[in-house]
Amino acid sequence: MERKTLAIVGCGKLASIIADALNANLLPEYQLIATYSRSIEKAQNIANKVNNESQKDSPCKACNSLEELLASEANYIIEAASPDSMRTLALPALKNGSSIVTLSIGAFADEEFYEEVKRTALANNARVHLVSGAIGGFDVMRTAALMGNCTATFDTEKGPNSLKRYSVYDESLQTEKRKVFEGNAKEAIALFPNSVNVSVAASLASVGPEKMKVSVTSTPGYIGDNHRIEVKNEQVHAVIDVYSSTAQIAGWSVVNTLRNIVSPIVF
Ligand SMILES: NC(=O)C1=CN([C@@H]2O[C@H](COP(=O)(O)OP(=O)(O)OC[C@H]3O[C@@H](n4cnc5c(N)ncnc54)[C@H](O)[C@@H]3O)[C@@H](O)[C@H]2O)C=CC1
Ligand SMILES: O=C([O-])CC(=O)C(=O)O
């Protein structure tokens, strides 16, 4: 069997789940050929994971630059880095004919960029797969939106420590429950660039980034994330409520998407 080739950009916690899945033979139709991250050590770590186990005979290369990774012309590039990195790699990857499986869907809050990505993918016979990540239910969101007159809200609850790197943080959040953000999905991803990709993903599946009403609530001592999405039209009221104690579900959703891509039965 000719295996499909994979490359990973962003070699952190979620990339590691994908390498483990390759080693566990959950992705037998794929071979990892290239990795790239801000530091070569991290790219090497992920390459070593598979080179020491499932890919002893077909080693993966740790790349020193994004250009080197793109030159590998992998069938699928998995983006597990950041919305900024997705912005940098999407168009050149698609022009090379590589499809993309992305976690940093927040990059698509920029409508112009989203449209350019769509055009480029079509022109190069490539596709962009938005993974369900830490949420799910894209099917019901898209269906309810198709029916017309749809509204949607996205409410997230997090612990204060996960907000420490953002401007909304202050020490009082350690003892006081507070709504730290209310706005639309475009504003949310601008404020929390690595933490609310899911709100942009849900908005693209329903009402769009400007119409998706988003709130972020900080709760003292809260472990993990709870994302509650409500989509309504005249006939439908759908609630998708996903709690996860870690972000690992997002890495597993990439594995699930890759399995779907090659499956005779597609969910
Ligand atoms: N859609 C979803 O449900 C979720 C999406 N995410 C996205 O996935 C990304 C990765 O998550 P984790 O693995 O937990 O983060 P992580 O911080 O463990 O790993 C990210 C790695 O990518 C590298 N990186 C960042 N920007 C880069 C760039 N421009 N070029 C090359 N390498 C770069 C970092 O140095 C780091 O090694 C997050 O930043 C976020 O954007 C994360 C969780 C859920
Ligand atoms: O892990 C989560 O709950 C969501 C997240 O970081 C993101 O959407 O970027």
Per residue in 228-247, pLDDT (tens digit) is 999 999 999 999 999 999 99
Amino acid sitting at position 173: L
Ligand 2 atom having least distance to the Cα of 104: 9
Q: Give the Cβ contact number of residue 177 at 10 Å.
A: 13
Closest ligand, as measured to the CA of 16: 1
For the cut 80, the answer to whether the pLDDT of residue 1 exceeds it is no
Pocket test for ligand 1, best of 82, 156, 255 (most atoms within 8 A of CB): 82
Residue found by looking up tokens 């989203």 in the block: 114
pLDDT at position 110: 98
pLDDT at position 27: 98
Q: What value does the mean pLDDT take over residues 195-205?
A: 98
- Pocket flag, ligand 2, residue 247 (CB < 6 Å): yes
Mean pLDDT (the chain, rounded): 98
The model's pLDDT over 143-153, given as tens digits with 9 standing for 90+, comes to: 999 999 999 99
> 20, exposed or middle or buried, with CB in 10 Å at 0-12, 13-18, 19+?
middle
Q: Which domains does the chain have, with CATH numbers?
A: 4-134+249-261 (3.40.50.720), 138-246 (3.30.360.10)
Pocket test for ligand 1, best of 36, 103, 128, 130 (most atoms within 8 A of CB): 103
> ipTM exceeding 0.90?
yes
pLDDT at position 173: 98
C-alpha dihedral over 225, 192, 155, 116, to 10 degrees? -110
What is the Å distance from ligand 1's center to 181 Cα?
Answer: 22
0.80 cut: is pTM over it? Answer: yes
Closest ligand, as measured to the CA of 222: 2
CA distance 107 to 113: 8
* Three-class secondary structure assignment of the chain: CCCEEEEEECCCHHHHHHHHHHHCCCCCCEEEEEEECCCHHHHHHHHHHHHCCCCCCCCCEECCCHHHHHHCCCCEEEECCCHHHHHHHHHHHHHCCCEEEECCHHHHHCHHHHHHHHHHHHHCCCCEEECCCCCCCHHHHHHHHHCCCCEEEEEEEECHHHHCCCCCCCHHHHCCCEEEEEEEHHHHHHHCCCCCHHHHHHHHCCCCCCCCEEEEEECCCCCCEEEEEEEECCCCEEEEEEEECCCHHHHHHHHHHHHHHCCCCCC
The model's pLDDT over 82-116, given as tens digits with 9 standing for 90+, comes to: 999 999 999 999 999 999 999 999 999 999 999 99
CA distance 43 to 187: 32
